[in-house]
Amino acid sequence: METKNYENGINVLSLFDGCSAAYLALERAGFKINNYYSSEIDKHCLAVQNHHYSGNPNFHQIGDVRQITGLEYPYVDLVIFGSPCTQLSSANPKDRSGLDGPDSGLFYEALRILELMYIFQNPKKKLYFLMENVASMTAKDRDKITEKLKNIFPDTQMFKIDSALVAPAHRRRLYWTNIPNVTIPEPKGKSYQDIVVNGYVDKEKANVLLSTDVTLTMGLKRYYNMNIGNVIFKDKNFAELPVAEKLQRYPAILRESGYNSKKGFKSSDYDFVNACYRLPSVLERERLMTIPDGYIGSVPNIPKSEQKKILGLSFTVDVVAHILRNLKAI
């Protein structure tokens, strides 16, 4: 079987492509991209793609994953995807139906495509894949994914990687791939404090970035009690207080600020309207995901809530780039 190190370029099929973070990872890993086939249907994600790649003749939007057979792309070298985690994630305790769920069950569409591409692939070259999903899924779903992928690619391996090794935020994910010689990244990268525009944080690494965040009223309690969301404090001395003292002092600070809710209240992303803490901006969230500054935030006509959602569902670019670099050594 012929192998190559893709010096002449790589052809990639990205399913559930989102904001095309996989494209960013390929670039960061040093690949020349000959063709990038993006399967995505969310209108806001498509707006991000159009903003950055509408003039790129190598970037192809191919629509809904359910309408793809895989046979349309016989020269693809790599299939990369993170199928929806909606019913797999512990962040959705109301519905843990896993791979039987309406969104997370779309994994089987990716599996169908991989199987057909494997059967009809060019016999002179190997097809590689990389899949990412949440580490908080049940062992039953994790083992089922591994079994199904190994039925197609017997050399499939699974890795658990926390993005905090190379990024300013935690993001515990499982990665399945048949790319050889994948290793866990060596710890490095910026801290949470390194990437904030103003203010102070009380953690070395941010919590997992979700599509939603805590509130500016009672969010501090949820931030500590549930370890959910991220905050940036106005005052360094307050940030360094013990947790119990922060929670005790905060209600009075909130009352004195006069802030009740964001309804009808306009402010900058970097204002401390409750006189105590603010939430990470879109720019800071990009940095937490190791996505270039302004990649999402500079795209016009996307509500800020949708920008945050896009980032919360994206790949950590530096982790995916770390895995993909092993392809160049083949």
Please tell me whether residues 22 and 44 are part of one structural domain.
yes
Question: What are the φ and ψ backbone dihedral angles of 220, each rounded to 5 degrees?
Answer: -65, -40
**Residue 276: closest CA among 209, 218, 194, 203:** 218
CATH number at residue 120: 3.40.50.150
* CA-angle at 23, arms to 196 and 293, nearest 5°: 20
In a domain, 2, yes or no: no
Question: What are the φ and ψ backbone dihedral angles of 146, each rounded to 5 degrees?
Answer: -60, -45
pLDDT class of 4 with cuts at 50, 70, 90: low
In a domain, 176, yes or no: yes
In a domain, 5, yes or no: no
In a domain, 16, yes or no: yes
Containing structural domain, residue 66: 10-188+316-329
**Residue 40: closest CA among 324, 321, 318, 314:** 314
CB 15 within 8 A of CB 81: yes
Distance CA 149, CA 276 (A): 48
Please tell me whether residues 325 and 299 are part of one structural domain.
no
The pLDDT tens digits for 29-45 are 999 999 999 999 999 99
The pLDDT tens digits for 257-299 are 999 887 767 679 999 999 999 999 999 999 999 999 999 999 9
Please tell me whether residues 113 and 145 are part of one structural domain.
yes
76 CA to centre of own chain? 23
The pLDDT tens digits for 186-205 are 998 899 999 999 999 999 99
Please tell me whether residues 168 and 103 are part of one structural domain.
yes
Q: What is the pLDDT of residue 2?
A: 44
What type of residue is 255? R
Please tell me whether residues 250 and 154 are part of one structural domain.
no
Please tell me whether residues 155 and 209 are part of one structural domain.
no
Beta bridge partners of 130: 80, 177
Query: How many structural domains are present in the chain?
Result: 2
DSSP 105-155: GGHHHHHHHHHHHHHTS-TTS--EEEEEEETTS-HHHHHHHHHHHHHH-TT
Please tell me the total number of residues recorded for the chain in this structure.
330
Please tell me whether residues 287 and 322 are part of one structural domain.
no
Please tell me whether residues 143 and 229 are part of one structural domain.
no
Give the position of tokens 């940036």.
232
Residue 85 in tokens: 């985690």
Indicate yes or no: pTM above 0.85. Answer: yes
Please tell me whether residues 26 and 158 are part of one structural domain.
yes
In a domain, 1, yes or no: no
In a domain, 3, yes or no: no
CB 315 within 8 A of CB 166: no
